[in-house]
Amino acid sequence: MKVLICDKTENEYIEQMRAAGLTVDVRDDITPEELPNVLPAYDGMVVRSRTKVRQPLIDVCPNLKVIVRGGAGLDTIDHEYAKSKGITVMNTPLANSASVAELTIGFMLMMARSLYQAAASVKAEKWDKKSFNGDEIGGKTLGLVGVGNIGKEVAKRASVMGMTVVAYDPYVKELPGIQLVSLDELLAQSDYISLHLPKTKESANMISTEQFAKMKKGVRIVNCARGGIIDENALYEALTSGKVAGAALDVYAEEPPIDWKLLKLDNVIGAPHIGASTKEAQGRVGAEVAEKLIAFAKNQK
């Protein structure tokens, strides 16, 4: 089986695939314009968030049998269409859970203690201690919108730090140690709100003007899930009005953003979609990608 690696994958696991008999070519800098000319020669492809696999690309690849997405989401792939063409689509949902959860907690601590602003102040050779009187996150309520693999990891860490955790997830009926509530209840109760759900037609802009109006004044929001779940224009208004005290964003409706005004606000912390960017997560992703492709190839024989 011939496999094209389209995005960064740890070399150790590429060699594992080759040792198992797969023909693996690495083009982790391949452009969207090049893909339609190159991919038709391959049976399988490995992608991360950089490479998008949409219907027009699938239509010119009659030999394609499997797409493996290194990561939790499938929103960069027209996966239902791919499946309708007989293509198997897989991802690695557990590999980066801990890394994204740790980033989420880190963002919350940064907002609670104004760490970004405090560090910038010291680098500017200022000693403005009285401006950085923060809050503890212990004793506060964290509302999780979505409690899949990553949401559960965030809940574990937040609980240990003394937070009360409530969650909204229409696909989960019971979760030990976490109180499941309606979305409106979560919005009204939470001091921090963190999103951990996929981007779908149902979740697009699900946090918008109406939802901000139901939140506590001074709430803080984290999005390490997918851009476009929060209405960014509504978030801007909520941040500038004082309804929302702070936001920490790792993902955006457009990546990179087209309009940077949201990220230029003093009460916004931004990162360039680095949730899974740890050595440990990259290793786990590579290992799971190799395992799944090797197993798929064996089943084709």
- For residue 139, the tally of other CB atoms under 10 A from its CB is 11
Termini Cα distance of the chain: 10
The owner of tokens 């190159």 is 38
- For residue 114, the tally of other CB atoms under 10 A from its CB is 20
Instruction: Judge whether 79 counts as a catalytic residue.
Output: no
Q: Which of 69, 226, 232, 288 is catalytic?
A: 226
**Vertex 31: Cα angle to 13 and 55 (nearest 5):** 90
Strands (DSSP E) found in 205-250: 219-223, 244-249
Instruction: Judge whether 255 counts as a catalytic residue.
Output: yes
Q: Which of 48, 69, 273, 284 is catalytic?
A: 273
Across-strand partners of 25? 4
Across-strand partners of 44? 3, 66
Quote the CA–CA distance of 109 and 51 in Å, as a whole number.
Answer: 32
Quote the CA–CA distance of 269 and 267 in Å, as a whole number.
Answer: 7
Instruction: Judge whether 273 counts as a catalytic residue.
Output: yes
Q: Which of 12, 34, 254, 255 is catalytic?
A: 255
Active site residues: 226, 255, 273
